Amino acid sequence: MTTLTFDSLNPATGQVVGSHPKQSADAVREAVDRAEAAAAWWAGLGHAERKRRLLDYKAVITRHLRELAGLVHEETGKPVADATLEIVLAITHLDWAARNAPKVLGRRRVSAGMMGVNLAATLEYLPLGVVGVIGPWNYPIFTPMGSIAYALAAGNAVVFKPSELTPGIGVRMAELFAASVPEHPVFQTVTGLGETGAFLARDPRVKKIAFTGSTATAKRVMAACAENLTPIVAECGGKDAFIVDADADLKAAADACLWGAMSNAGQTCTGVERVYVVDAVYEPFMRELSERAASIKAGEHYGPITMPGQLDIIRRHIDDATKSGKAITGGPGSVRAPFVDPVIVADVPEDSPAVREETFGPTITVRRTRDAQEALELANASAYGLAGTIFSRNARRAMELARAMRTGMTAINSVISFAGVPALPFGGVGDSGFGRIHGADGLREFARPKAISRQRFALPGMNLTSFSRGADELERLIRLVTFLHGRRKR
């Protein structure tokens, strides 16, 4: 007999945190039924009232910050301070989405151009209806909120399927929303294993899926969505590079590199995984990095590996890297399940799994490069393209490198700082996925543009969309278009 519930466990202690239903196809269908009705009501409220409700939800989450951080700590094992930071970021995004949706998505006039002088052109972004959000466990509030807040602000109802490792957090997020929006279930959470997410992706009444997780699962979700031509936004992790240029502040670079790589036990989609250091500063940077790394310990500075199966991947990457490269900090003995201490390995061949595949653990590979250009070329030679970092005191050079980096986001002289700027879109290229959450692009991701052209008056002698059109009207059109567009630009 199949079990009807599953447990979420504290990965540090193995203790049961909570028990949740494995929601069936019927249960997901019923949730989507309710969401459809709620979506119509929520859309009808209009921007101003939605903004008020979402800002209220933000205040409710803020007042429950400590409780939520405790729950995130229990379900993921991450320190309460890191959980707090994650929730603060989510609050910032919720605030931005609520405040900016009216301006970004609301109705506005656009120019109709010279050829349309008799038209009034209007553009607005309307809700899609029901949005399905399939979330990960590594930042169980911040990451899904990057879709949930923006989808709600755009006027959609949301059905959220959290990772089976962090269901309690997902349930609580929806419960707290009901305090601000008690009338209809505009935001619901369904719990279960991967199959529950698949039911959501296959439901034709779900008008968009926002997925965060592995590239392999994104492909499965996309295949399910293809049946109904349901669009998806996919955030699938990365293998982010960190470039240290010759004029970088090496202390600041080493400090940021370590935090970017090891915080959250390296389970960060935009975490540092590959480090490229230009020859001129390689030795002093490595001294700085290894000295600092020596004092960082799993279980003290960061938590355990949340997903037990990930330990095998981390172990395989460490074994592979230390066989071919030179261990600077740690090695195979750094894995003390469920914890992994920092591992830094230099000179690992660029075609090895430790350099090519997402590790999702507190490990980095480091390589010496001739110059920043070579570092950039190696950084870009990845199937992934989510984010990256440049450390350089030359602002112009750093900007050039950042622009040439084949990623959705790049931080200069800081790590992952773009994630805390709600106005900046977040998402990747290549195997890192497509579509954007956050910012104006993130709001538009969950809306459909509606274009309206209204004729204000008939243009005398220029009725071009009529069978009564004569040769003289066409002649006038040719003269007009030649005047407007026929001159060559010098």
> Which residues are tagged catalytic?
235, 269
Q: Choose between 121 and 311: whose C-beta lies nearer to ligand NDP.
A: 311
Which of left, alpha, beta for 416 (phi over 0: left; psi -120 to 50: alpha)?
left
Q: Which is nearer to ligand NDP, 18 or 155 (CB)?
A: 18
Q: Is the peptide bond before 338 cis (omega within 30 degrees of 0)?
A: yes
* Neighbouring-strand partners of residue 339: 336
Q: Does 240 bind ligand NDP (CB under 6 A)?
A: no
Please select the residue that binds ligand NDP; options are 136, 266, 342, 442, rule is CB under 6 A. Answer: 136
Of 75-83, 118-126, 214-222, 396-404, the segment contacting ligand NDP by CB under 6 A is: 214-222
Distance CA 106, CA 92 (A): 21
Least distance to ligand NDP from the beta carbon of 405, Å? 18
- In the complex, the smallest distance separating the C-beta of residue 81 from ligand NDP, rounded to whole angstroms, is 20
If binding is defined by CB under 6 A, does position 237 make contact with ligand NDP?
yes
- Report CA dihedral (284, 285, 288, 291) to the nearest 10 degrees: -100
Smallest gap from Cβ 342 to ligand NDP, in A, equals: 18
Residues 133-170 as b or e (16 or more Cβ within 10 Å = b): bbbbbbbbbbbbbbbbbbbbbbbbbbbbbbbbbbbbbb
Residue 194 or 353: the one with the smaller Cβ distance to ligand NDP is 194
Helix pair angle (25-63, 142-153), 10° resolution:
100
Q: For residue 64, what are its two tokens?
A: 């429950």
In angstroms, give the least distance from the CB of 329 to ligand NDP.
22
DSSP classification of residue 168: H
Contact letters (x/-) for ligand NDP, 347-386, by CB under 6 A?
A: -----------x-x--------------------------
Q: Which is nearer to ligand NDP, 5 or 453 (CB)?
A: 5
Judged by CB under 6 A, the residue of 135, 260, 408, 439 near ligand NDP is 135
Nearest to 152 by CA among 42, 26, 36: 42
Q: Among 86, 164, 320, 445, which residue interacts with ligand NDP (rule: CB under 6 A)? A: 164
Question: Is 75 a binder of ligand NDP (CB under 6 A)?
Answer: no
Helices 282-293 and 250-262, packing angle to 10 deg:
50
Q: Give 198 or 402: the residue with its C-beta nearer to ligand NDP.
A: 198
Q: Starting at the edge strand that comes first in sequence, how are the strands of the sheet with 388-391 ordered?
A: 326-329, 343-346, 363-369, 272-278, 240-244, 388-391, 411-412
Give rounded-to-5 percent helix, strand, coil for the chain: 45, 20, 35
The smaller minimum CB distance to ligand NDP, of residues 14 and 461, is found at 14
What is the per-residue binding string for ligand NDP in 254-293, x denoting contact by CB under 6 A?
---------------x------------------------
197 binds ligand NDP (CB under 6 A): yes
The answer to whether residue 310 forms part of the interface with ligand NDP (CB under 6 A) is yes
In one-letter notation, the amino acid at residue 64 is H
Q: Is 194 among the residues that bind ligand NDP (CB under 6 A)?
A: yes
Cβ closer to ligand NDP: 203 or 341? 203
DSSP label at residue 302: B
Handedness of CA 401, 407, 409, 413 (dihedral sign): negative
Binds ligand NDP by CB under 6 A, chosen from 39, 94, 141, 221: 221
Which stretches of the chain bind ligand NDP, using CB under 6 A? 134-138, 161, 163-165, 193-194, 197-198, 201, 212-214, 217, 220-221, 235-237, 269, 307, 310, 358, 360
